[in-house]
């Protein structure tokens, strides 16, 4: 039997195409060495559908709340690592990386801390000790940490917070100096961990993202140990400026730091029965696709994490008082949505393909 060269080529292309279709986000991401991740509440790991979907689709996890001060520090003398340890155990069993969130934030702090009337000296000691204890406990198990979360306001100024100026750890009115200090403490506490600055609403080009860029540039120039920027990427109102997001990722990675997309969700308007419009699901998928593509097109964008993965468990419902929802790639029954298929397609196409 004679087979023409073009028929043979066609056959080989078909075989290649079939073998290159990834079945899961994890499989597709692994091919590019990319991290694909979800925030997790450890209590949900006992639900079989939750646990099996998580382990099948993702190669990394992060604690949605379990490593925040209010969980880790029920009182001044106690460190409660149980929930965090449970997540780390799950990750080890399923060969997943773990990302830490978050050491320094003006929110999600326990009352004994916020109402404690501590002096700056005392707060400085408390925070330094917290960073040492928590990073020390997880050293070798967590490869990266959000060291500081949401420290800037929408104008790019340092936000008022317990750590900055209420009363702060000793650097009130010194701009980003307290941020610099805690990055130095974090580097001493675990020199192996990658250290991130994580921020909301600074994903595109605006005054806040300009301020993040300027801070990171300044830190890098002066040798302050910062390895990356986390762009949260909570997208409300189906409104995402993808070219601006791509440009911001490109300028940050050009500074030599990594970018992680850390809290991606795309919330939809829901009616009083909790339903969304069919074409909104398509628009949602397009936004997911655009953000994944923007990350893939910058070599320094190394992780894409959604804030949860199933609409069954998402902070959006309670946070928006039920006005928005269905923000994640899987529905409440763990079935993939159009958004999931868009992400899988882009990850399967990989870094090389440009649209
Ligand atoms: C949210 C969690 O999802 C909720 O469970 C919790 O009640 C409040 O915090 N930016 C962050 C995250 O950095 O830590 C927040 O997580 C969402 C906004």
28-71: pLDDT as tens digits = 999 999 999 999 999 999 999 999 999 999 999 999 999 999 99
Q: Find tokens 């099948």 and name the residue.
A: 56
Ligand 1 centroid – CA 39 distance (Å): 10
Ligand 1 centroid – CA 338 distance (Å): 25
3-state secondary structure of 256: coil
Two structure tokens written together for 55? 């382990």
**Helix and strand tally (H, E) in the chain?**
13, 11
221-279: pLDDT as tens digits = 999 999 999 999 999 999 999 999 999 999 999 999 999 999 999 999 999 998 999 99
Q: Give the closest residue (by CA) to ligand 1 atom 5.
A: 315
Q: Give the closest residue (by CA) to ligand 1 atom 3.
A: 315
pLDDT at 355 over 70: no
Ligand 1 centroid – CA 237 distance (Å): 19
For residue 234, the cross-strand partners are: 265
Ligand 1 centroid – CA 230 distance (Å): 14
pLDDT at 1 over 70: no
Q: State yes or no: is 180 an active-site residue.
A: no
> Average pLDDT of 72-90?
98
For 215, what's the count of Cα atoms within 13 Å in the CB-facing half-sphere? Answer: 30
187-201: pLDDT as tens digits = 999 999 999 999 999
pLDDT at 74 over 50: yes
pLDDT at 211 over 70: yes
Q: Give the closest residue (by CA) to ligand 1 atom 12.
A: 64
Closest ligand 1 atom to 101 CA: 14
Residues whose beta carbon lies within 6 Å of some atom of ligand 1 = 64-65, 108, 149, 200, 232, 263, 315
What residues have CB less than 8 Å from 326, skipping those under 6 apart?
267, 268, 270, 276, 281, 284, 311, 337
Q: What pLDDT is stored for residue 354 in this prediction?
A: 47
Ligand 1 centroid – CA 203 distance (Å): 17
- Cα separations (Å) of 223 from 128, 178, 195, 227, 346? 20, 15, 13, 11, 36
Share of the chain above pLDDT 90, in %: 93
For 329, what's the count of Cα atoms within 13 Å in the CB-facing half-sphere? Answer: 31
Closest ligand 1 atom to 39 CA: 3
- Tell me which of 180, 203, 263, 346 is the catalytic residue: 263
Q: What pLDDT is stored for residue 331 in this prediction?
A: 98
Closest ligand 1 atom to 146 CA: 13
Residue-wise DSSP of 49-73 = HHHHHHHHH-SEEEESSTTSHHHH-
Two structure tokens written together for 33? 């060495």
Q: Give the closest residue (by CA) to ligand 1 atom 6.
A: 65
Per-position b or e across 262-281, b if 16+ CB within 10 A of its CB: bbbbbbbbbeeeeebeeeee
Q: Give the closest residue (by CA) to ligand 1 atom 15.
A: 64
pTM over 0.85: yes
3-state secondary structure of 199: strand
In angstroms, the CA 37 to CA 62 distance is 7
- Tell me which of 57, 150, 199, 346 is the catalytic residue: 150
Q: Which of 319, 321, 325, 327 to mutate to test the pocket of ligand 1 (most atoms within 8 A of CB)?
A: 319
Residue 315 vs residue 8, higher pLDDT: 315
Q: What pLDDT is stored for residue 352 in this prediction?
A: 75
pLDDT at 10 over 90: no
In angstroms, the CA 172 to CA 158 distance is 10
- What does the CA dihedral 203, 207, 208, 213 come to, rounded to 10 degrees? 80
141-182: pLDDT as tens digits = 999 999 999 999 999 999 999 999 999 999 999 999 999 999
Q: Which of 108, 310, 314 to mutate to test the pocket of ligand 1 (most atoms within 8 A of CB)?
A: 108
Ligand 1 centroid – CA 66 distance (Å): 11
Q: What pLDDT is stored for residue 21 in this prediction?
A: 77
pLDDT at 319 over 70: yes
Sign (positive or negative) of CA dihedral 128, 130, 131, 132: positive
Q: State yes or no: is 150 an active-site residue.
A: yes
Q: Find tokens 């990750």 and name the residue.
A: 91
Closest CA to 164 of 135, 126, 130, 124: 124
Q: What is the DSSP letter of 261?
A: E
Two structure tokens written together for 241? 């400026």
3-state secondary structure of 262: strand
85-138: pLDDT as tens digits = 999 999 999 999 999 999 999 999 999 999 999 999 999 999 999 999 999 999
Two structure tokens written together for 20? 């290159």
Closest ligand 1 atom to 198 CA: 13
């Amino acid at each position: 039997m004679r087979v023409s060269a073009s028929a043979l080529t066609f056959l080989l292309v078909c075989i290649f195409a079939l073998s290159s279709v990834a079945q899961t986000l994890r499989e597709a991401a692994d091919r590019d060495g990319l991290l694909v991740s979800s925030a997790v509440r450890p209590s949900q790991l006992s639900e079989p559908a939750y646990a099996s979907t998580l382990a099948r689709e993702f190669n990394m996890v992060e604690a949605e709340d379990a490593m925040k001060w209010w969980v880790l520090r029920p009182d001044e003398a106690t460190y409660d690592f149980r929930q965090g340890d449970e997540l780390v155990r799950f990750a080890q069993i399923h060969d997943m990386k773990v990302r830490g969130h978050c050491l320094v934030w003006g929110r999600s702090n326990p009352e004994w801390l916020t109402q404690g009337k501590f002096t700056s000296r005392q707060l400085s000691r408390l925070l330094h000790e917290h960073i040492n204890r928590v990073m020390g406990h997880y050293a070798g198990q967590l490869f990266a940490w959000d060291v500081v979360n949401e420290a800037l306001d929408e104008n790019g100024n340092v936000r008022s917070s317990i750590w900055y100026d209420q009363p702060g750890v000793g650097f009130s009115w010194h701009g980003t100096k307290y941020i610099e200090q805690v990055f130095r403490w974090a580097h001493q506490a675990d020199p192996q961990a990658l250290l991130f600055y994580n921020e909301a609403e600074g994903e595109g080009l605006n005054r806040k993202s300009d301020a993040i860029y300027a801070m990171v540039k300044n830190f890098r120039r002066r040798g302050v140990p910062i390895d990356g920027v986390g762009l949260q990427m909570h997208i409300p109102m189906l409104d995402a400026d993808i070219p601006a997001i791509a440009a911001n990722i490109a300028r940050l990675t050009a500074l030599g730091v990594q970018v992680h997309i850390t809290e991606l969700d795309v919330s939809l308007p829901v009616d009083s029965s909790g339903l969304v419009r069919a074409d909104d699901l398509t628009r949602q998928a397009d936004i997911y696709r655009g953000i994944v593509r923007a990350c893939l097109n910058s070599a320094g964008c190394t992780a894409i994490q959604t804030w949860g993965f199933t609409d069954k468990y998402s902070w959006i419902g309670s946070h928006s008082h039920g006005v928005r929802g269905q923000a994640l790639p899987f529905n409440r029954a763990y079935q993939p949505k159009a958004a999931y298929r868009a992400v899988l397609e882009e990850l399967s196409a990989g870094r090389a393909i440009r649209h």
